[in-house]
Amino acid sequence: MPEGFGPAFRYESVVLFNELRVVPGITAGFSTVTNSIGAEEGHVNFYNGNATFLGYLGFGVGFSLVSAPALELVIEEHHRSGADGLLGHIHEGYNANVVGLRYRF
C-alpha cells in the first residue's frame, strides 16, 4: 500500500457565481510502497531499480458549495517519480487519477 508525505498547499479563495468554491492544490514530497505494480514494476525490472522510496507530486482541485464548504468533490492526479534515476535508480514511477468526496472536520 502506498504512503506519501509532504507539505500540501491549497488556495481557498476562488468562488464562482457566489455559490461554488474551487480549491486548487499541490502536494510535493515522498512516497513509500511495499510492492510496486503495473507500469512501475516494469520500470523497476527494466532499470534494475527499486520503487520502495520515490518522489511524489499530487495535483488536485476540490469543488464545494459556499453553503457547505466541509464537503468537497475532489479530482486529483497522483504521480510517483524516480526523478530521472535519482531515487530508486528508476526514471518514472506510477500515476493514479482519483475522483472522490472529502469531508473536512
pLDDT digits (tens, 9 = 90+) for 88-100: 788 777 788 899 9
Residue 47: phi and psi, rounded to 5, are: -95, 0
d(CA 100, CA 51): 26
Domain count, the chain: 1
pTM of the model: 0.74
Domain span including residue 54: 3-103
Q: Kindly report the CA angle at 101 between 93 and 59, in degrees rounded to 5? A: 35
Tell me the mean pLDDT per 10 residues along the chain, length 105: 74 90 92 79 79 87 93 92 81 85 90
CA distance 1 to 19: 37
What angle is formed at CA 76 by the lines to CA 75 and CA 78, rounded to 5 degrees? Answer: 165
Of residues 4, 19, 9, the one with CA closest to residue 59: 9
